[in-house]
């Protein structure tokens, strides 16, 4: 990440892997090594596949995947989990789950489905996510009152349903930040 985004951006992520994205462009401007064509801070906070090769998850079409979210400071707003093509920064198909109102700070306790929920890997991906580094399972949340974006990405492949996850816990590019 440092070679693509610079030390300042990397320091923001490592100092608080639950931080929002909006402060990162300012930090990037201070970096001579910042490369905006490689480091898109609005895609997985700029974290790079090369830094996470050992944590690629293999899913099969139709597999139900449990996701757990750590929300230390709620901010109400929309959330979705989608498969994103990282080469084009485009969502693949429809969101796997979405909320119009998520992480509402006015509630005394967040609903259980805000912090633990299941998504189902689509059966119609074909070869779209068959190569490691092309797709991520992205948790994306925008706190509307705070005007802050939160993201977590799990590098993944779906090789046509021949392989299962083998019970490996999800490990996002952010380590043990928001999504596990």
What is the C-alpha to C-alpha distance for residues 127 and 64, in angstroms, rounded to an integer? 19
| pLDDT > 80? residue 163 | no
68 occurs within a structural domain: yes
Structure tokens at 95: 């969101």
pLDDT of residue 125: 94
Mean pLDDT of 67-82: 96
CATH of the domain at 117: 2.70.50.50
89 occurs within a structural domain: yes
119 occurs within a structural domain: yes
146 occurs within a structural domain: yes
95 occurs within a structural domain: yes
26 occurs within a structural domain: no
Based on its alpha-carbon atoms, the radius of gyration of the chain, rounded to whole angstroms, reads: 16
Mean pLDDT of 132-148: 97
Residue numbers of the domain that contains 129:
52-157
CA distance readout (Å), 88 to 37, 60, 78, 83: 11, 22, 23, 12
| pLDDT > 60? residue 161 | no
Mean pLDDT of 27-45: 89
Domains in the chain: how many in total?
1
Region of residue 75 (left: phi > 0; alpha: psi -120 to 50; beta: else): beta
Mean pLDDT of 128-157: 96
Q: How confident is the model at residue 173 (pLDDT cuts 50, 70, 90)?
A: low
Spell out the residues 6+ positions from residue 32 whose beta carbon is closer than 8 angstroms to its own.
6
Mean pLDDT of 154-176: 60
Q: Is 114 helix (H, G, I), strand (E, B) or coil?
A: helix
Neighbour-count burial of 20, counting CB atoms closer than 10 A to its CB (0-12 exposed, 13-18 middle, 19+ buried): buried
Percent of the chain at pLDDT above 90?
Answer: 68
What is the C-alpha to C-alpha distance for residues 82 and 80, in angstroms, rounded to an integer? 6
Per-residue pLDDT tens over the stretch 75-126: 999 999 999 999 999 999 999 999 999 999 999 999 999 999 999 999 999 9
* CA 22 and chain centroid, separation: 15
| pLDDT > 90? residue 29 | no
134 occurs within a structural domain: yes
pTM: 0.86
| pLDDT > 50? residue 134 | yes
Q: How confident is the model at residue 179 (pLDDT cuts 50, 70, 90)?
A: low
164 occurs within a structural domain: no
């Amino acid at each position: 990440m440092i070679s693509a985004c610079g030390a300042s951006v990397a320091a923001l992520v490592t100092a608080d892997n639950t931080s929002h994205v909006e402060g990162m462009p300012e930090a990037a401007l201070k970096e001579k090594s910042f490369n905006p064509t490689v480091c898109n801070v609005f895609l997985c906070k700029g974290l790079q596949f090369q830094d996470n090769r050992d944590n690629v998850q293999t899913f099969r079409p139709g597999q139900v995947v449990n996701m757990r979210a750590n929300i230390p400071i709620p901010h109400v707003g929309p959330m979705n989990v989608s498969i994103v093509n990282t080469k084009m920064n485009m969502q693949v198909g429809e969101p796997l789950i979405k909320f119009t109102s998520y992480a509402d700070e006015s509630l005394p306790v967040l609903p259980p489905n805000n912090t633990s929920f299941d998504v189902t890997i689509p059966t119609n991906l074909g070869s779209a996510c068959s190569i490691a580094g092309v797709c991520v399972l992205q948790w994306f949340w925008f706190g509307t009152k705070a005007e802050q974006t939160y993201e977590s990405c799990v590098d993944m492949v779906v090789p046509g349903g021949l392989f299962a996850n083998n019970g490996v816990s999800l490990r996002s590019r952010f380590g043990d930040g928001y999504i596990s």
